[in-house]
Amino acid sequence: MNIKIQYYAQLREARGQSEEIYSTRAQTARDLYLELKQRYNFPLEVCELQIAIGDQLGDWNAPLIQDDVVTFLPPVGGG
Amino acid sequence: MFRLQTEAIDLNLASQALLDPSCGAMVSFEGWVRNHHEGERVLFLEYEAFEGLCVNEAQKLHQETLDRFDIKHLSCVHRVGRCEIGTLVVWVGVSSDHRKEAFDACEYFINQLKVRLPIWKKETYTDGSATWVKCLACHEHSKVH
């Protein structure tokens, strides 16, 4: 299935772009991140991140659906 | 009300949402870019945000703060993009009947903003190096975001 992935901060820099359409067989956001981490050598572990599906915080273990918009959120630092 | 913006924060405009003849107190917090962090000399900051999620989470935090404290109005503006030393980067304003609830609500909102909203800050130092800054409170408590 195709998933739209958005990247911010460290992950955007590591990937070299802010979003992409990615074809995967990963069933969950956790599996997807582990696949991407290995492929792009991402510097952050799952335990350091939050996950968003669309514009809402999501569950790492929820099943992914075709055309989901997935965002991996590095540790925040606003203010 | 919560807003992300690239342009300078207009305090007169931001505080309009707080005006209310029943309020006897207004408390505000201003966050500025300082020129040092943990012994490093900071040259400038860059903020980026996931706007859709940020606005959703800010609305939840706004309502949560209204429910938790006896206040009338709360407003917040946060900058994104490059910000030089001395720049006002975040403003939180609260109005209420009396001052104590406004002080408490303002502190609560900014504390929660720093650990909950998807906003990222990159510091560039005078030696040319740069780093993404984690929320200090979360780092100290090893909190997973």
Domain boundaries, chain B: 2-140
pLDDT at position B144 is 37
For B55, nearest residue in chain A (alpha carbons): A55
Domain positions in chain A: 2-73
For chain A positions 13-72, those within 8 Å of chain B (CB to CB) are 47-50, 52, 54-57, 71
What's the rounded mean pLDDT across residues A8-18? 98
Beta-bridge partners for B84: B44
pLDDT at position B134 is 83
Architecture of domain B2-140: Alpha-Beta Complex (3.90)
What's the rounded mean pLDDT across residues B23-51? 97
Read off the pTM.
0.94
CB of A10 less than 8 A from some CB of B = yes
Q: Residue A77: which of B50, B52, B132 has the nearest Cβ?
A: B132
For chain B positions 91-130, those within 8 Å of chain A (CB to CB) are 110, 113-122
Q: In terms of Cα–Cα distance, which of B5, B112, B102 is closest to B58?
A: B112
User: Is B118–A47 a contact, with Cβ atoms under 8 angstroms apart?
Assistant: no
A27 or B139: which leads in pLDDT: A27
Architecture of domain A2-73: Roll (3.10)
- What is the number of CB-based contacts under 8 A between chain A and chain B? 85
pLDDT in tens, A34-69: 999 999 999 999 999 999 999 999 999 999 999 999
Q: In terms of Cα–Cα distance, which of B121, B118, B31 is closest to B76?
A: B31
What's the rounded mean pLDDT across residues A13-22? 98
Enumerate residues 6+ apart whose C-beta is below 8 A from B141: none
Residues of A in contact with B53 (CB under 8 A): 52, 55-57, 71, 73
- What confidence category does residue B138 fall into, taking pLDDT thresholds of 50, 70 and 90? low
